[in-house]
């Protein structure tokens, strides 16, 4: 893991929709941290800092350092609620992690060597069917992303979920059929030529 993210949080005691609205007006996002054989803790984080960190793809699939007072806890981002119409974060959930307990987390898929694959050079169209997938692993084995190498893909080729190369200690949660396509390359559709159009019009019957 190349990035280390630190989330500065502060405790909060007021709960309910009214309290959350008041908190958001001060530029904070209400949240909660739970799990790890400890009681859930209500927290708040600064909206602008959290929004900046969310610009990094790795933030969603990395171990995070949650600083609450003098304590730092390893967590992962578990849920994020956004306003449906405005660029506002409404609520954030963090899950505490234990070194000896497996995580279930959604990981992005990176498609490498895509632009140089033979199928694309021959005019094919690439279709990404799945761009993220849930895995299970210990925190120490958590990958930032999974890679799919498209260097040898030709027209009509398909790479399935079963062909994903997983790092040591990482398993799929089996929520998907192993034969589900991850990515495929469609052959270009044949286009009608001008001569064919003229032949078709010339074959029409005329009156008189």
At 160, which CATH number? 2.170.120.20
pTM of the model: 0.82
* pLDDT of amino acid 196: 52
Largest CA distance in the chain: 97
* pLDDT of amino acid 21: 86
* pLDDT of amino acid 190: 66
CA distance 155 to 187: 5
| Boundary residue ending a domain (65, 83, 98) | 98
Question: Total domain count for the chain?
Answer: 2
Closest of 185, 76, 179 to residue 137, by C-alpha: 76
The answer on 89 and 11 residing in a single domain is yes
Centroid of chain to Cα 108: 4
CA distance 5 to 103: 18
* pLDDT of amino acid 1: 42
Residue 79: CATH number of its domain = 2.40.240.10
* pLDDT of amino acid 175: 77
| Boundary residue ending a domain (77, 98, 119) | 98
The answer on 119 and 70 residing in a single domain is no
Closest of 100, 33, 35 to residue 69, by C-alpha: 33
Could you tell me the residue range of the domain that residue 74 belongs to?
5-98
- Please enumerate in sequence order all residues whose Cβ is within 8 A of that of 35, keeping only pairs 6 or more positions apart, or say none: 95, 96, 97
Q: Which two tokens stand for residue 117?
A: 């694959």
CA distance 75 to 95: 5
| Boundary residue ending a domain (98, 119, 139) | 98
> Which stretches of the chain drop beneath a pLDDT of 70?
1-3, 190-208
């Amino acid at each position: 893991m190349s990035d280390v993210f630190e989330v500065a949080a502060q405790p909060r005691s007021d709960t309910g929709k009214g309290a959350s609205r008041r908190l958001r007006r001060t530029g904070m996002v209400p949240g909660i941290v739970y799990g790890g054989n400890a009681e859930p803790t209500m927290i708040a984080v600064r909206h602008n800092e959290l929004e900046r960190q969310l610009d990094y793809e790795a933030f969603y699939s990395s171990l995070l350092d949650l600083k609450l007072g003098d304590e730092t806890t390893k967590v992962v981002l578990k849920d994020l609620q956004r306003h449906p119409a405005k660029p506002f974060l409404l609520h954030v959930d963090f899950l505490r992690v234990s070194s000896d307990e497996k995580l279930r987390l959604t990981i992005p898929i990176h498609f490498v060597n895509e632009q140089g694959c033979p199928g694309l050079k021959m005019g094919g169209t690439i279709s990404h069917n799945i761009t993220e997938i849930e895995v299970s692993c210990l925190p120490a084995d958590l990958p930032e992303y999974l890679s799919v190498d498209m260097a040898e893909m030709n027209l009509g080729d398909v790479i399935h979920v079963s062909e994903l190369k997983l790092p040591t200690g990482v398993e799929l949660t089996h929520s998907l059929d192993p034969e589900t396509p991850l990515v495929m390359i469609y052959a270009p559709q044949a286009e009608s030529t001008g001569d064919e159009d003229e032949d078709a019009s010339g074959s029409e019957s005329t009156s008189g």
